[in-house]
């Protein structure tokens, strides 16, 4: 769908920080922007104070901390294929070296679609908690989230910790299960813990060495395929 100017319709959730380290969430989803003040605890304010210093902004500057966007097409893909969310972060995506958090879904044919893109201020737990509790809730609604069965992440506890908290405490998340992606759950563990302990063969290739090489190739090809 497009607006009257032919541009894609975009819903968004934005979080700003004022001079007193208070957070405000701005939501636009097919209606005029809604503004809501958020409560911040002492630890979050300490993180925000440090973040503002790192970003070299003056104390009185209002800062756009996070921006989460989903076009109508992105939201439709999430609603069509909500069963599995693939969640990950791409580092240093703009001049401010902000990270980009992505949620991707996949259809039955294996085609993938970006369902959400969120520019985040840092990799702190409270940032990911805000994404799962506020951003996803506002952009996709409780019904769509309740249809999710599995979320795959890497092994960053700041990323998956708040997700597991939501699964335990938020009703629309209770049908979900969190697991690590294959690379972090299997491939990385294999190369870190098992591969160094395997015997090393020099000179002529033996049958055991050939078998080991084939096994290693199978793991590598499987990871690349996925």
CB 123 within 8 A of CB 130: no
The model's pLDDT over 55-94, given as tens digits with 9 standing for 90+, comes to 766 666 677 889 999 999 999 999 999 999 999 998 766 6
The model's pLDDT over 15-26, given as tens digits with 9 standing for 90+, comes to 888 877 788 888
CB 24 within 8 A of CB 38: yes
Q: What is the Cα–Cα distance from 57 to 18, expressed in whole angstroms?
A: 11
Residue-range domain boundaries for the chain: 10-180, 184-225
CB 178 within 8 A of CB 167: yes
Nearest to 143 by CA among 88, 78, 72: 78
CB 37 within 8 A of CB 43: no
The model's pLDDT over 121-179, given as tens digits with 9 standing for 90+, comes to 888 899 999 999 999 999 999 999 999 999 999 888 999 999 999 999 999 999 999 99
State pTM to two decimals: 0.70
């Amino acid at each position: 769908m497009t607006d009257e100017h032919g541009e894609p319709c975009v819903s968004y959730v934005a979080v700003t920080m004022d001079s007193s380290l208070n957070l405000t969430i701005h939501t636009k989803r097919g209606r005029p922007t809604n503004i809501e003040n958020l409560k911040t605890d002492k630890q979050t304010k300490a993180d925000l104070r440090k973040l503002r210093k790192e970003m070299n902004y003056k104390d009185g500057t209002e800062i756009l901390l996070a921006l989460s966007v989903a076009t109508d097409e992105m939201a439709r893909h999430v609603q069509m294929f909500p069963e599995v969310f693939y969640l990950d972060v791409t580092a240093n995506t703009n001049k401010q070296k902000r990270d980009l958090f992505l949620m991707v879904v996949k259809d039955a044919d294996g085609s993938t679609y970006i369902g959400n893109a969120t520019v985040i201020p840092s990799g702190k737990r409270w940032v990911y908690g805000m994404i799962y509790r506020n951003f996803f809730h506002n952009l996709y609604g409780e019904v769509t989230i309740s249809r999710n069965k599995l979320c795959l992440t890497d092994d960053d506890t700041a990323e998956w910790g708040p997700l597991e908290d939501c699964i335990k405490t938020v009703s629309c998340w209770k049908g979900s299960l969190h697991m690590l992606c294959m690379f972090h759950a299997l491939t990385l563990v294999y190369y870190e813990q098992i591969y160094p302990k395997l015997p090393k063969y020099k000179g002529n290739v033996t049958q055991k060495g050939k078998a080991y090489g084939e096994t290693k190739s199978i793991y590598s090809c499987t990871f690349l395929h996925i």
